[in-house]
Structure 1
Amino acid sequence: MLGVGIFTYLRNKNIHNSLDEYYLGGRGLGVMVLFFTFFATQYSGNTVVGYPPSAYRQGFEYLVSVPFFIMIIMGYLLFAPRLYKMGKKYKLVTPAQWFEKRYKSKAITILASLLMLYGLGNYLLEQLVAIGQGVSGLTGGTIPYQIGVIFFVAIMIIYGWLGGMRSVAYTDTIQGIALLVGVFMLLIGSIIYFGGLPTSADYMQAYSPEKLGIPDGPGVRNWLSLLVMIGIGAAVYPHAIQRIFSAKSEKTLKRSFSRMAWMPFLTAGVVFVIGIIGISAFPGLSTGESEQLVGKMASAIASQHIIFYWSMILLFGGVIAAIVSTADSILLTFSSIISNDLYGGYINPNASQHKKLLVGKLVGVVVVGILILVAWFPPGTLYEIFVLKFELLIQISPGLILGLYWNWLRRTAVFAGMLAGTLVASFMTLFGASLLGIPSGLWGLLLNTMICIVGSMVMNASAVEEDEAKQVIGM
């Protein structure tokens, strides 16, 4: 990864004087690199390590994990091609710039930026914890949690600082290939040595018939609500949107999405099957023990043949690298919002691109340092706050998506809806309020969308605002 950063820097020495070059790779990512950087953004190491234990505990009910990722692709297709056109037309670097261009409202831009920064900070904290736990767990505690975090964070910051989006995208490609090869070798080894799905189905029928069942009414409702929230929430992740802007062309973007459409089956589907096979391979594990399922299965398979031994080393290297690749993507986008939207937009509008980049990098390093401290010494109150992620991030979606297609959407309604949805989702989550078992973020999103649509229809907008919207979106 360090080598990729140095190579990218030497090939693009002007990278630190251009926001487009540093944050978007010069808007020139091809199909293969764009596909793998989307893949690494969507499937972190947690997918490989965390999903099989869930399938182990829940059985076939956890098949819902596959449509989770299908819904994300569907979420992209709602707006990505059109947002790409807007990004290319107006040379947008961050998603917050779209809010500024579309609504010309400082309040909307700042609120959207803060929601995105919160979601990114939350997600980055998760990845830092996962890096430490992954390194410590995979080495049996030989490398302590803290050392693992500091080491890989230092590597990540150095290659990201040197090469920006190009470094991130190229390392994503390497990490994605390693992860895919390792996962498929784990599946093949599991089928050969543990008997595959028929053996697990027979075992469940005899000893755990509840794992063969289907969800009840509340379970189905929970499935559907999570599908909607994750499908929209993950698609509007700011670091995913920046990859839309980074595509070489609209055709390149669509071709990468056509390849991404297969990945829910080839990644989430494969790790689901691995978890189901684990039910008969390692029966009777407690909840805590089941969290180590992938390590147990890989260790058993690695001892059978030299090919599987090296494949499992590749798998675990890929797992750690995938976590790092998710973290570096988040950090890059976090820095871009700070440098381009908040610092360059409101604090020092006359700053040069070089100075904006420097501010973004320095703030990013400071934020990572703070999050490492939070990960080591997490206060209980902070934990409750960090439970919010999709619940808040999803509140930017009405203004983002509807604003691409509807020129009657009013800036006052967008701000009111975004603020109301944020407050409702925060209140319900922090105070444990639940209604019909539907996540608080969806209730906030429902209120948000209603305010946006109804408010825009009843408000008397000025002719100037309507003309501005028509000029921006061309509809």
Structure 2
Amino acid sequence: MLIAFVVLYLVVTIAIGLWAAKRVHDSKDYVVAGRSLPLYMNTATVFATWFGAETVLSVSAEYAKNGLGGVIADPFGSSFCLVIVALFFARAFYRMDLLTIGDFYRKRYNRPIEIVTSVVITFSYLGWTSAQMTALGLAFSTLSNGAIPLPLGIVLGAAVVLGYTVWGGMWSVALTDLFQSVMIIIGVTLVAWVVGDMAGGAGKVIAAAAEAGKFDFWPKGGAKEWLAFGTAWLTLAIGSVPQQDIFQRVTSAKDEKTAVRGTLLGGVVYFSFAFVPIFIVYAGLLIAPSLASYLSAEDAREMQKLL
């Protein structure tokens, strides 16, 4: 039954993506959805840009292992990145009326700089994209009880995402992001409610996490620990500002105010909701303490099996 629902979800997602392609008539429609996304869609696509399989699986497992300080990069750094973009860059980006972040470098400098920065930005996505695809493949493999091997799961996930994205561009991304955001918020909230109740209630889960020191945020140690802590935050908070995905969502809004508000709301919603999977994992540890053995595994994919 669970597999059937997963398949249905994928089919609906693909159908929405293909249907959205009907709205594409020129390059502006394809790349920035004709600069016409209303606030709710702009917020949803900003939220969905950050909230993916990596947030659900990796961030929650990292918190269960290292506490609040272990997730300084994500969701803290990634959320602050969106707030920084909204407050300091969104208006400027939108007024430029450009299609890609590479266009900015060409306009500000020259064509060679555009090419170099575009190549560098493309390569910078490899690690993040690999993490997302691996987590998605792991979800397929786990839900199928191993019937779908991890490599095949990664290929299937990539094929689905690439399929509707290439077909309909930003319109497909925006509409599927909206659908997925609604499903994520409803589904994960229901799971948190059920699992929290099984663990004895939200209060008990939070109290157990506090007692175990999982709310300790600041690093303990010397300069090395503080440097690693600050670097992890800066990598996403500042390093992700000049990225195509954020730039594209800012410039896809219907107007300047929507660009600012959508990015800011997306960041706030993401930061708030990223802690729901964290709650689920920690509640799961209270229900079945034996799951804690996964946290000692060197392979991060073993930690992700907590979910």
Report the TM-score when normalising by structure 1: 0.54
Q: Does 1:168 align with 2:173?
A: yes
* Aligned ranges 1:312-327 → 2 under 5 Å: none
Q: Does 1:95 align with 2:104?
A: no
Q: Does 1:34 align with 2:42?
A: yes
User: Residue 216 of structure 1: which of 214, 220, 223 is its match?
Assistant: 220
Gaps of 5+ in 2: 1-12
Q: Does 1:56 align with 2:64?
A: yes
* Aligned ranges 1:357-436 → 2 under 5 Å: none
Q: CA 1:129–1:59 in 2, change beyond 3 Å: closer, same or farther? A: closer
Residue type of the partner of 1:40?
A
Distance 1:205 1:129 in 2: 31
Distance 1:144 1:57 in 2: 26
Question: How many Å apart are 1:130 and its aligned residue?
Answer: 2.8
Distance 1:272 1:147 in 2: 27
User: Residue 236 of structure 2: which of 230, 234, 239 is its match?
Assistant: 230
Greater Rg over alpha carbons, structure: 1
Deviations 1:406-461 (A, max 9, x none): xxxxxxxxxxxxxxxxxxxxxxxxxxxxxxxxxxxxxxxxxxxxxxxxxxxxxxxx
> Paired residue for 1:71?
80
Are the counterparts in 2 of residues 136 and 148 from structure 1 also a CA contact under 8 Å? yes
Are the counterparts in 1 of residues 106 and 113 from structure 2 also a CA contact under 8 Å? yes
Q: CA 1:113–1:290 in 2, change beyond 3 Å: closer, same or farther? A: closer
> Paired residue for 1:274?
280
> Paired residue for 1:185?
190
Residue type of the partner of 1:58?
N
RMSD across aligned C-alpha pairs, in angstroms? 2.6
Are the counterparts in 1 of residues 101 and 242 from structure 2 also a CA contact under 8 Å? no
Mean alpha-carbon deviation: is it higher for 175-184 or for 222-231? 222-231
Q: CA 1:276–1:125 in 2, change beyond 3 Å: closer, same or farther? A: closer
Instruction: Look up the SS of the partner of 2:254 in the other structure.
Output: coil
Question: How many Å apart are 1:267 and its aligned residue?
Answer: 1.4
> Paired residue for 2:304?
291
Q: CA 1:203–1:41 in 2, change beyond 3 Å: closer, same or farther? A: closer
Question: How many Å apart are 1:263 and its aligned residue?
Answer: 1.5
Are the counterparts in 2 of residues 67 and 264 from structure 1 also a CA contact under 8 Å? no
Are the counterparts in 2 of residues 244 and 253 from structure 1 also a CA contact under 8 Å? yes
Instruction: Look up the SS of the partner of 1:235 in the other structure.
Output: coil
Identity in percent: 25
Q: Does 1:5 align with 2:9?
A: no
Residue type of the partner of 1:52?
S
> Paired residue for 1:82?
92
Residue type of the partner of 1:172?
D
Choose between structure 1 and 2 for higher RCO, CA contacts under 8 A separated by at least 6 residues: 2
Distance 1:233 1:225 in 2: 10
Distance 1:256 1:135 in 2: 31
Gaps of 5+ in 1: 295-475
Are the counterparts in 2 of residues 8 and 162 from structure 1 also a CA contact under 8 Å? no
Distance 1:154 1:202 in 2: 42
> Paired residue for 1:263?
269
Question: How many Å apart are 1:112 and its aligned residue?
Answer: 0.7
Report the TM-score when normalising by structure 2: 0.81
Deviations 1:346-374 (A, max 9, x none): xxxxxxxxxxxxxxxxxxxxxxxxxxxxx
> Paired residue for 1:20?
28
Q: Does 1:241 align with 2:247?
A: yes
Deviations 1:62-111 (A, max 9, x none): 4645432431223313212211111x2xxx111111111111x2332222
Q: CA 1:149–1:61 in 2, change beyond 3 Å: closer, same or farther? A: closer
Distance 2:84 2:244 in 1: 14
Are the counterparts in 2 of residues 52 and 293 from structure 1 also a CA contact under 8 Å? no
Aligned residues: 283
Query: 4+ runs of 1 displaced by more than 6 Å?
Result: none
Distance 2:68 2:121 in 1: 34
> Paired residue for 2:161?
156
Distance 1:39 1:78 in 2: 19
Residue type of the partner of 1:225?
T
Question: How many Å apart are 1:40 and its aligned residue?
Answer: 1.1
Are the counterparts in 1 of residues 44 and 181 from structure 2 also a CA contact under 8 Å? yes
Distance 1:159 1:204 in 2: 40
Instruction: Look up the SS of the partner of 1:262 in the other structure.
Output: helix
Distance 1:158 1:140 in 2: 26
Mean alpha-carbon deviation: is it higher for 167-176 or for 70-79? 70-79
Deviations 1:27-67 (A, max 9, x none): 11111111111111111111112222112112344464543
Distance 2:179 2:207 in 1: 39
Q: CA 1:279–1:152 in 2, change beyond 3 Å: closer, same or farther? A: closer
Question: How many Å apart are 1:122 and its aligned residue?
Answer: 3.7
